[in-house]
Structure 1
Amino acid sequence: MSAYYDHGRRRRRLWASLWCFIILILIIVFLVWLILRPTKPQFILQDATVYNFNLTGGDAAAAATGLNLLTTTIQVSLASRNPNKRIGIYYDRVDVYATYRGQQITPATLLPASYQGHKEVTVWSPFVNGNAVPVAPYLGVEIGQDQNAGRVLINIRVDGRIRWKVGTFISGRYRLNANCPAYLSFGGGQYSQNSILVGSTAKYQLVQQCYVDV
């Protein structure tokens, strides 16, 4: 009877010690978070240079047949800032592509993997290209209407995987999503005040804050 009682007491002590250890770990994690205050990176779309934005179709006839093909060549300048004082960021994989009204209109462009130190700023200038990309019939009509109106809204999207670095500790991977709206002016040589026209190429000074989610 005494041996059974001693065994039960040891088990209760073991469980109590285990729970105390778990609670201690949770407290340490909370204190580290409270001290470091990790903040997601900030993205700004600085400019966009449009070399090609050509829609084949975009009228009622094309909408009926579904023959709407969009060719896009745009170079963008994306600036990413790490706002943290004590946390570095590893960008393990970052893809950039363009969308129009929720539909992807260019394949993803892979950016080189990089590390961003405390308070550092990284600037990427990738090309996003889409050659004769099929678009939904109704979107073809809307692109044509927007171009005729002289103003098209596209979104530069960023999808990636990042890790946080605190001292020698490196976290697991987190999903990064950024959405950068860009208004582009077209038609009749009428370009907006934030654009520079060189031949058939227009460069847009945007300095547009992006919506970032981690």
Structure 2
Amino acid sequence: MADHQRVHPAGDPEAPQAPTAPLVPPDASKSDNGDPAPRDNGYYPPPPVQRTIPVVHSRPPKRRRSCCCKCFCWTFSFLALLIVAIAITAGILFLVFRPKLPKYSVDALQITQFAPANNGSLSASFNVNITARNPNKKIGIYYEGGSRITVLYDGEQLCQGALPKFYQGHRNTTVLVVPLSGQTQNATGLLSQLQAEQQATGSIPLNLRVRQPVRVKLGKLKLFKVKFSVRCQLKVNNLSEDSSIRITSSSCKFRLRL
């Protein structure tokens, strides 16, 4: 038997042929359109491999507070707490002790000497009756040394003195007789002004000033020393040593100084 003839399938001549070589050779260059330009041998190089670099987002840096800012914050907080504590303490003390300002008045004025000298100076000596009232129920007042009382006319000092040291208890009224003395140089013009004002108005205005250091006693607690001042405006009918002196008007103002 004759061998059967083997039949091999023939390829389709119209099917596209697979390239046998790369389209772009390795040494090809790119054209203006972005595609690789073909070389003379028709080889196109493959596109380059692009590596993706991961983006790392960095954390924003923390703002560090400066030492000055921290110091300012601590100082402000401490002062705020201190003010609040003082306000609370003052409120409690006010509710417990009910403090009231003392009252003062000038009740009488006696002139023991008011005479000019041959050299034109003026010697004056007064006795002033001052009434001090403490209206507080639970607060006492210690009058310390170092006080000063002055009597002035038109800004010119006539005489001065001091209050005695004493303790004024609760709801106490104390009458003090304070001697004052002084000497004014070149008082010829001052005496002429006093006589002219007395003849024109019938009275002479005087200013009495008191500066007194005191210590306040709250219950059994004796506080630190403070100073107060009293200013009184007086009007007297005359300043003659041989006649009776009458106070026609008197008003005093109290002021506390820490």
- TM-score normalized by structure 1? 0.69
Where do residues 1-214 of structure 1 align in structure 2 (5 Å cutoff)?
22=82, 23-24=84-85, 26-55=87-116, 69-93=121-145, 94-106=147-159, 108-131=160-183, 133-134=184-185, 139=190, 141-149=192-200, 150-186=202-238, 200-204=242-246, 208-214=250-256
User: Are the counterparts in 2 of residues 46 and 206 from structure 1 also a CA contact under 8 Å?
Assistant: no
DSSP 3-state at the match of 1:105? strand
Displacement of 1:144 in angstroms is 3.7
**For 1:35, what is the secondary structure of its paired residue?**
helix
Q: Give the conservation status (yes or no) of the 8 Å contact 1:40–1:213.
A: no
**Structure 2: runs of 5+ lacking an equivalent:** 1-73
Aligned CA distance change for structure 1 residues 155 and 20 (closer, same or farther; 3 Å) = closer
The structure that has the greater radius of gyration is 2
| Structure ranking higher on relative contact order (CA contacts 8 Å, 6+ apart) | 1
Higher strand proportion: 1
Identity of aligned residues (%): 25
Specify the code of the residue in structure 1 equivalent to 2:196: Q
The alignment partner of 1:146 has SS state of: helix
SS of structure 1 residue aligned to 2:135: coil
Q: 1:89 deviation in Å?
A: 0.7
RMSD (Å) for aligned C-alpha atoms: 3.2
Change (3 A) 1:143 1:135: farther
CA distance in 2 between partners of 1:135 and 1:213 (Å): 33
Higher helix share: 1
Aligned residues: 179
Against the structure 1 CA distance between its residues 206 and 113, is the aligned structure 2 distance closer, same or farther, given a 3 Å change threshold?
farther
Deviates further, 69-78 or 134-143: 134-143
Residue 176 of structure 1, CA deviation:
1.4
Aligned amino acid, residue 150 of structure 2 = Y
Q: Which runs of 5+ in 1 are unaligned?
A: 1-14, 58-66, 190-198
Q: TM-score normalized by structure 2? A: 0.58
Query: Cα gap change, 1:136/1:176 in structure 2, threshold over 3 Å: closer, same or farther?
Result: farther
CA contact under 8 A between 1:47 and 1:206: conserved in structure 2? no
Contact 2:237–2:245 under 8 Å retained in 1 = no
How far the C-alpha of 1:99 sits from its partner, in A, is 0.9
